[in-house]
Structure 1
Amino acid sequence: MSTSTANLEAAANQVVEDLASDVRGVLSSKELDSVPHIKALRQRVDAKVAIARELASEKAKLAARKAREAADQANAYAHDEPWQIAGAALAVGVLVGLLIGRR
């Protein structure tokens, strides 16, 4: 897994954890203890947070897999068509040189 994908996964997990912490903080208020449905609400929130955590993890894994596949395809193309890659790099270099030379 690449560093950026790992950072993305960590950030997504942190957002979920922060949201869960905020919701638990509100639901754990002593003023709400007198409301009979709070325990059930707390359980539903915990279940939904667990689902959100799992979905975030799955999305990060899917993004990492797609990025790895794209990198593999780009690598295979570069090895199969080296002259096209060299030509494209040359064209970009000439274009950048012309733009810099005009200034």
Structure 2
Amino acid sequence: MANNTEETLINDLQGVLTETEGYLKDAADQTGEKAQVLREKVIANLQTAKAKLLETEKLVAEKTKYAAKVTDEYVHDHPWQSVGVGAAVGFLLGLLVSRR
């Protein structure tokens, strides 16, 4: 469900930005009252985009907190396995760095 929500937010944001880009192109050719109406639409779309970005930020923060919590629980439940994995990763990184 989280991936679906994330994809929906990204698609919505892309749609809002595409629509805003169109308004900006139209506003460049307009003057007077039509330009003011287009500017107001651009401002409204940018506010929508900002709200969607904040929503996406919250979703990413929640996922990050969950991943950190699960990792912390795993390390507490399996400390020696965690030390072994960390040592193996460190060893492999050391090998890769020393080859250069």
> Structure 1-normalised TM-score?
0.56
How many residue pairs end up in the alignment? Answer: 78
Report percent identity of matched pairs: 36
Structure 1 residues 74 and 43: CA distance shift in structure 2, 3 A: same
Q: In structure 2, do the counterparts of structure 1 residues 75 and 48 end up closer, same or farther at CA, with 3 Å as the change threshold? A: same
Query: Which entry has the higher C-alpha Rg, 1 or 2?
Result: 1
The runs of 5 or more residues in structure 2 that have no matched partner are: 1-23
Alignment of 1:19-98 (within 5 A): 32-34=30-32, 36-95=33-92
Q: Give, in whole Å, the separation in 1 of the partners of 2:62 and 2:30.
A: 44
* In 1: Cα distance, 2:36 partner to 2:98 partner: 71
- If the length of structure 2 is used for normalisation, what is the TM-score? 0.57
Q: Cα RMSD (Å) of the superposition?
A: 3.4
Deviation, 1:91, is: 2.9
Q: Which has the higher contact order (CA 8 A, sep 6+)?
A: 1
